[in-house]
Structure 1
Amino acid sequence: MSEGRRAPERPQHRPDRHPDQRPDRRLDRPSGPARRITPLAWVSMALTFVLVVVTLGGYAYYRSIDGDIDRLPPVDAGPSRPPETGALNVLLVGSDSREGDNKKYGAKSQGLGERTDTIMVLHISPDRDKATMISFPRDTMVMIPPCRSHSGAMLAGGLRQINSAFNDGGINCTVRTLESLTNIKINHIVKVDFTGFKGIVDALGGIEICLPKAVNDPKAKLVLSAGKHVVKGEQALGYVRTRYALGDGSDLGRIQRQQVFLTKVLDKITDGGLLTDPVKLNAFLRAGAKAVSPDTELTLDRMVEIARSVQGLTAKELKGITVPVEAYPADKNRVQLKQPDARNFFEAVRSDVNVTPPSAAATTPKVANERVRVQVLNGTTELGKAGQVADELADQGFAVVQVGNAAPVATTSIRYAKKDADNGAAYGDAVAARLSKDKRTPVAGKVAPVNPKPYPTKVTPLPDGPIVQLVIGADWPGVRVASAIPGSLKDKVVDSTTNPCL
């Protein structure tokens, strides 16, 4: 598949990491296939419990469900944290603890604590109309900040595998690492283990999978013929655990398979009759409550609040994506973030911010982006700002025809010619709708540009109608992203339309 148009490189929010640093392996434990098991329980539960908890009609019932949940301490990631944007970001980690009912997955590992091979962030847009499941491969080499260990001792920061943050420093070190890496604030955390995963899938009556070839993987306890199967319990767990028996044997392939599985879980919840079957729904909620360990601030009331805000979200709005990575030169079994792709991706997620709803008084008809010709003028002191904004608008379909400079101004404005007073506002509103945080009211009147230059628009033929002039001021709010996933990564997306047999 083609890589698509690469998003323009944007300024970084933090200085680059030190490229001459080598991995500090003092804190890494020995790795091997027998220790590398990836459950998916927490992924499905974290999203689906939030989606369905509000659908039943008994608050006392919810309280009884809440009593079954084993909670984690609140997030403690230090005083310097990224700002809130209105989005909801939930860190999901899978625990491979071998205690209790999980003993059969590795009795020799009892008493050695817990590890994770699965790290995901569920990003729900501020408007609660889109959900993006972001996976971080466990073998990604990243800078881990100083953290406290499970015993309370201070661990030195350094370049290590991303999953060592959880293995050595626990959930708070994982939060600190991800926030430092992405500058995205984590609002809540959820953890689930092996046994919980099986209970959730069983309560759903199983999930249909598709195998391109027969699988015989003793380590994952999975033996199935090629073709479609409905898996429950151990088979479902084996399907999301197996690594070397399917695909190219990489963790990246397993992540993609897990993301497909998650879309099937959500699809069965929202479209499979679960919400209208009290018996099945009760079994699902009971199983989930015993499986998840959310933080103490993700209370029942908070879940209900979230559930109400996302009640229209379905499997079609859930997108899965793995952060862009490439081979790590010092070790072929490791990967590193691919730049500038990863930097642009994290910026797109950060730019998914609140938008003020249109005024109730607005009566102008909506105009499609492709019908709007735009002239972008830089009224700031930042060099190249007009070109950057033009690229962002063009990526969203606008017919940008010209870029240039204007006299420095404090306030961003959207203008159209007085002769277009009859419909200029409607075209200006299309541009205003893509500005982050607030909307500017288009007004009649033009600013004299300085040295305007043609912009190579991809919209052909050029539309008729008024030209809208966007003057970027010192208060520039930014262009609201159409998706948390940049166009350059669209071919990497997993969603409800992805063929599970591939």
Structure 2
Amino acid sequence: MAEQSGPVSGISERRGGAGGRRRKPRSGRSKALTGAAWAAAAVVVLGGTGLGYVYFRLDGNLKSVDINGALGTDRPEDIDNGSMDILVLGSDSRDGANGEYGGGDEGARSDTAMILHVYQGHKKASVVSIPRDTLVTRPECETDGGGKDPGGERRMFNESYSVGGPVCAVKTVEKMSGIRMDHYLEVDFSGFKKLIDELGGVEITTEKAIKDKDSHLDLQAGTHTLNGEQALGLVRTRHAVGDGGDLGRIQLQQAFIKALIEQVNEIGLLTSPKKLLDLAETATSALTTDSELGKAKDLASFALGLKGIDSKNMSMVTLPVTYDTIDPNRVVPLPKETRLVWDALRADQAIPAEATKDSAGDKGEAGSVVKDG
């Protein structure tokens, strides 16, 4: 699945910044990495027509966290090579509208975690999915109550978010990878559903039936246009495909993201200012970002920098892992292979195929359940 080409030259954008040097707009349909990116691009379009108040209106929707301020200088070097790394989390908070999922559990966890590496030139990207059940050495983190959690070895990755929210999640990823995260994006369950509904659904083709009462999903084999509820069920299901573990679910998530990108590329949103505004309202209400993307204008600039990436120029892999010998319900990173992944991203190079060939991830029948392309 990994691409074998190196980085692409082009825009020289400083890592960590929300903006960068503007490129001449391209004709035809814009391309976006996610539905949220489309919404942010919508803000630019509307603001450019003189509706400057839209920025102020949408700013009130966004939630942001000052991760740079919280982590200070105890971070990997900020490498200025034109690339960008973003930690993207799907939060499974059980509060409020999310309460119908998970049987009444309290608190929140990172149900989905991906590191998005955008190569220099912003024409290609690699996505590395981190299984939530990965056992890691978690650093010390400040807790929501003002105390400190000491962390330690053999801690589940998704507990980082439970312990210390976005700051601890970013800190854990940076300690694992040695790569500084330039940005942070988080979408919660209810926001994800609304975003898919606002986009008009996402079309996928399933090669087999998928039925999982825990994720509220019941699909026959064939082509479907998934609404928000069904899309959420697909990216969360783990019992209806493969061996019922998290690695199979990641394959479904990756297939869905590619389908979402293709769908977004085909929607003529730019012809309807109202649809753009509605989408922007939904997306900004669903997002939590780092403070550098905490204003609609900054988020829009960031999103426009991603619009040249489509699914064909995106490599998606799972962090190289193997099943833990003590607890087979958990996975542990393969040291040598994991280093290959981090070294490649740090050097702004494609992830080599040898990094994932012996991994338990990216294998099994789950990857063939949803038709690719």
Contact kept, 8 Å, 2:36 with 2:284, in 1: the verdict is no
Matches within 5 A, 1:92-171: 92-106=88-102, 108-109=104-105, 112-159=106-153, 160-171=155-166
The structure whose Rg is larger is 1
Other structure's SS at 1:501 match: coil
Query: CA separation in 1, counterparts of 2:315 and 2:274?
Result: 30
Contact kept, 8 Å, 1:215 with 1:225, in 2: the verdict is yes
Amino acid at match of 1:278: P
Query: CA separation in 2, counterparts of 1:242 and 1:307?
Result: 29
Query: CA separation in 1, counterparts of 2:331 and 2:185?
Result: 25
Task: Using the aligned pairs only, state the percent identity.
Answer: 37
Judging changes above 3 Å, is the alpha-carbon distance between structure 1 residues 307 and 290 closer, same or farther for their aligned structure 2 residues?
closer
Judging changes above 3 Å, is the alpha-carbon distance between structure 1 residues 74 and 146 closer, same or farther for their aligned structure 2 residues?
closer
Contact kept, 8 Å, 1:91 with 1:190, in 2: the verdict is yes
Deviation at 1:332, TM superposition (A): 0.8
Amino acid at match of 1:500: V
Judging changes above 3 Å, is the alpha-carbon distance between structure 1 residues 52 and 278 closer, same or farther for their aligned structure 2 residues?
closer
Deviation at 1:211, TM superposition (A): 2.2
Matches within 5 A, 1:213-228: 213-228=208-223
Amino acid at match of 1:99: D
Judging changes above 3 Å, is the alpha-carbon distance between structure 1 residues 97 and 337 closer, same or farther for their aligned structure 2 residues?
same
Q: Which residue pairs with 1:181 in the alignment?
A: 176
Amino acid at match of 2:117: H
RMSD: 2.8
Other structure's SS at 2:339 match: helix
Give the counterpart of 2:44 among 43, 54, 59.
54
Contact kept, 8 Å, 1:269 with 1:275, in 2: the verdict is no
Contact kept, 8 Å, 1:145 with 1:156, in 2: the verdict is yes
User: Paired residues, what number?
Assistant: 330
Q: Which residue pairs with 1:69 in the alignment?
A: 62
Q: Which residue pairs with 2:326 in the alignment?
A: 330
Query: CA separation in 1, counterparts of 2:205 and 2:3?
Result: 28
Query: CA separation in 2, counterparts of 1:53 and 1:126?
Result: 25
Contact kept, 8 Å, 1:4 with 1:489, in 2: the verdict is no
Other structure's SS at 1:94 match: strand
Judging changes above 3 Å, is the alpha-carbon distance between structure 1 residues 47 and 135 closer, same or farther for their aligned structure 2 residues?
farther
Query: CA separation in 2, counterparts of 1:183 and 1:300?
Result: 30
Other structure's SS at 2:329 match: strand
Deviations 1:15-57 (A, max 9, x none): xxxxxxxxxxxxxxxxxxxxxxxxxxxx945544455543443
Q: Which residue pairs with 1:467 in the alignment?
A: none
Contact kept, 8 Å, 2:196 with 2:202, in 1: the verdict is yes
Unpaired stretches in structure 1, ≥5 consecutive residues: 6-42, 353-480
**Higher RCO by CA contacts (8 Å cutoff, separation 6 or greater):** 2
Amino acid at match of 1:488: E
Deviations 1:322-347 (A, max 9, x none): 11111212211111111311101100
Q: Comparing both structures, which one devotes a greater share of its residues to helix?
A: 2
Query: CA separation in 2, counterparts of 1:486 and 1:205?
Result: 37
Query: CA separation in 1, counterparts of 2:124 and 2:321?
Result: 24
Deviation at 1:253, TM superposition (A): 1.3
Is 1:319 the counterpart of 2:315 in the alignment? yes
Deviations 1:226-253 (A, max 9, x none): 2221110221111111111123322111
Amino acid at match of 2:312: K
Give the counterpart of 2:300 among 287, 299, 304.
304
Give the counterpart of 2:280 among 257, 280, 285.
285
Other structure's SS at 1:239 match: helix
Q: Which residue pairs with 2:354 in the alignment?
A: 488
Query: CA separation in 1, counterparts of 2:3 and 2:88?
Result: 30
Amino acid at match of 2:334: K
Judging changes above 3 Å, is the alpha-carbon distance between structure 1 residues 499 and 279 closer, same or farther for their aligned structure 2 residues?
farther
Contact kept, 8 Å, 2:338 with 2:355, in 1: the verdict is no
Deviation at 1:293, TM superposition (A): 1.3
Deviation at 1:490, TM superposition (A): 7.5
Q: Which moved more, 1:214-223 or 1:312-321?
A: 312-321
Q: Which residue pairs with 1:208 in the alignment?
A: 203
Contact kept, 8 Å, 1:53 with 1:307, in 2: the verdict is no
Other structure's SS at 1:108 match: coil
Deviation at 1:294, TM superposition (A): 1.2
Contact kept, 8 Å, 2:238 with 2:246, in 1: the verdict is yes
Unpaired stretches in structure 2, ≥5 consecutive residues: 5-32
TM-score, normalised via structure 2 length: 0.80
Give the counterpart of 1:276 among 271, 274, 289.
271
